[in-house]
Amino acid sequence: MAPVESGESVELLFALAPMGVAIVAAAAYAIRLATVGGVHETRADREAGSVLLAPRAVDAFYWALAPLVRGAVALGVSANALTASSLLFGAAAGLAVAFGRFGMATLFGLLAALVDTLDGQVARATDTTSTAGKLFDATADRYVEAALFVGIVFYVRASAPLLLLTLAALIASFLVSYVSAKIEAYPNVSVPRGAMRRGERLVLLTLGTGLVPAVARLFPSTASLVPLIVALAIIAVAGNFSAVRRLLHLARSAP
């Protein structure tokens, strides 16, 4: 069940290109940090707080996206249009991974995450936030994540252990989101910080799929799937643990 061997160089390029962009953005922010000082986004305090999503890394991420937000606003691109495009990119990522195109899946998955982040910022910048828009965005997030997992399920369907691992990770991802949503329904109960929130799952899945083409170059066998297997295992174990922990927190705290 090795990844598709045809077009290996292209797949590797697809996987490494986003990493290159990230390195350039990080270098630019480091220069700003050393010369002018950093920026602080209040959203970073809510969205960060883990090894994978350090607050200052989230600050840098939003700083790097600021020009894209201004560009989208100047072009008149609506937040809903960005949300819809994230659905398309997510579907493309799921389809790509289903057929072993891990580099392409990484690129499309990151594009889906990028425009998904932009839609909320564009909505705030243009004062067009709405309950309907937030619902559309939250629903699109679930579909995009489901598309990635369904693609992986299709790809590993011949291996019972990998199929079960992928399904365990899928269950964990949706349980964390579901229990968090249930907690948010109680105004006096705060959502506890914990592992495997959507951003963390995205980082792991992106690293998992993105490293497969590189490992495949070094080890052209099923060993090339090790990065993805490790990512799925972390999501499955830490995600289900986090979901149970949140559920117990709700049981103790809810009126």
Can you list the alpha helix ranges (DSSP code H) found in the chain?
Answer: 8-35, 42-47, 55-75, 79-98, 102-125, 131-155, 160-184, 198-218, 226-253
Domain assignment present for 1:
no
Higher pLDDT, 105 or 36: 105
d(CA 247, CA 255): 14
Query: What is the predicted pLDDT for the residue at 243?
Result: 85
Tell me: pLDDT of 46 over 70: no
CATH code for position 247: 1.20.120.1760
* Mean pLDDT score across all residues of the chain: 84
Query: What is the predicted pLDDT for the residue at 10?
Result: 81
Domain assignment present for 2:
no
Domain assignment present for 56:
yes
Q: Using an 8 Å Cβ cutoff, are 165 and 229 in contact?
A: yes
Full domain range(s) for residue 96: 8-253
Can you list the alpha helix ranges (DSSP code H) found in 37-101?
Answer: 42-47, 55-75, 79-98
Number of domains in the chain: 1
d(CA 119, CA 116): 5
SS3 189: coil
d(CA 150, CA 99): 11
Domain assignment present for 243:
yes
The pTM assigned to this predicted structure is 0.85
Instruction: Give tens-digit pLDDT for 3-19.
Output: 555 467 788 888 888 87
Query: What is the predicted pLDDT for the residue at 232?
Result: 95
